[in-house]
Amino acid sequence: MRWSVIALIFIIINVCGSCGNKEKGFKKHDSGLSYRFFDMHPEGATPKAGDIVILSLKIQNEDNKVVDESSFYRMQLGKPMFKGDFYTALSLIQVGDSVCFKLDAAGYFEKNRKRDLPVEFKRGDPVYIFVRLKNILSSEDLESEKESTYHTDFEQEKNLLKNYIELTNTTVKPTASGLYYIEKKKGKGKIAEAGKTLVVHYTGTTIDGKIFDSSLQRGKPFSFILGRGQVIKGWDEGFQFMQEGGEARFIIPSDLAYGKSGYSNLILPYSTLVFEVELLEVK
């Protein structure tokens, strides 16, 4: 068992170090994408459109800079949106396979991921994506997987939050609503007030540290009107403590965020969220 773990670590290290190694070892698919297999399991199942796939994922640019990564990334596989896209890539692999895909960065982020091209890329750049296909789930399987792997009620969420507060040495007390507001840098500009438009940068993570959204990665600030319900309750409350130029951390329990429903496959039910925020401008 120990040697199996060591071998797996060796594979991951070598794969992640090789993704940005230009064309060395890569083969060209008829669709135009390039790929390099590191571990193949031809006996494994192949995902098809509509399946929910569980992946470990690491995304790099040409300079080998890691732009995003997750050891447990869930997505529903769609039909190919254009020739050589990420959906096409995933249809080439089986459960257990480890592979690096070279795709067009703009196509991958803007069409498959439906987000702006990160600042680490410019149009025409490739993106290198290391993928290990861990499992394929039906919608019923996904519900069972959620129940066995994640907290599914408020009491479990409270216990996870308590552990997080202790592990991060957070000493501030929550507000009456349960929000933890941690000031990192005091602003000196205009005060954020209800009805004002705020321009902010942020990075949002789940309590286990997985990034689910970041304006910094998109390279584009986010704007909203404070106090109008355009954002989650934790934001409407937290930003009222801030001034232009300020930076803070919000620890937001699920009842001030996405509650028992969660949000798509990005945020599961009863998820406490952590946001690193910067208030750039008050209009």
Residue 147's pLDDT band, with cuts at 50, 70 and 90, is: low
Q: What is the pLDDT of residue 46?
A: 92
> Does the pLDDT at position 42 exceed 70?
yes
Q: What is the pLDDT of residue 53?
A: 87
* CB 238 within 8 Å of CB 181: yes
| Long-range contacts at 6-14 (CB < 8 A, ≥ 24 apart) | 11/38, 11/39, 11/98, 12/98, 12/130, 12/132, 14/38
SS3 155: helix
Residues near 70 by beta carbon (within 8 Å), at least 6 away in sequence: 55, 56, 57, 210
pTM greater than 0.75: no
- CATH class assigned to 2-142: alpha beta
Is 94 a residue whose pLDDT tops 50?
yes
Residue 10 in this model has a pLDDT that exceeds 60: no
* pLDDT score of 144: 63
Mean pLDDT of the chain: 85
Mean pLDDT for 17-43 is 80
The structural domains of the chain, with segments of one domain joined by +, span 2-142, 150-282
Higher pLDDT, 41 or 5: 41
2-142 and 150-282 have identical folds = yes
- pLDDT range class, residue 17, cuts 50, 70, 90: very low
* Residues β-bridged to residue 274: 205, 251
Find the mean pLDDT for residues 202-225. Answer: 88
* Residue 150, pLDDT score: 56
pLDDT score, position 126: 94
251 pLDDT above the threshold of 90 = yes
Residue 240's pLDDT is what? Answer: 97
Per-residue pLDDT tens digits for 60-70: 999 999 888 87
Q: Which CATH number fits domain 150-282: 1.10.3720.10, 1.10.730.10, 3.10.50.40, 3.30.450.20?
A: 3.10.50.40
Question: Which residue numbers are catalytic?
Answer: 202, 212-213, 232, 258, 275
Q: Is the pLDDT of residue 152 over 80?
A: no
Measured between alpha carbons, how far is 150 from 102 in angstroms, rounded to an integer? Answer: 32
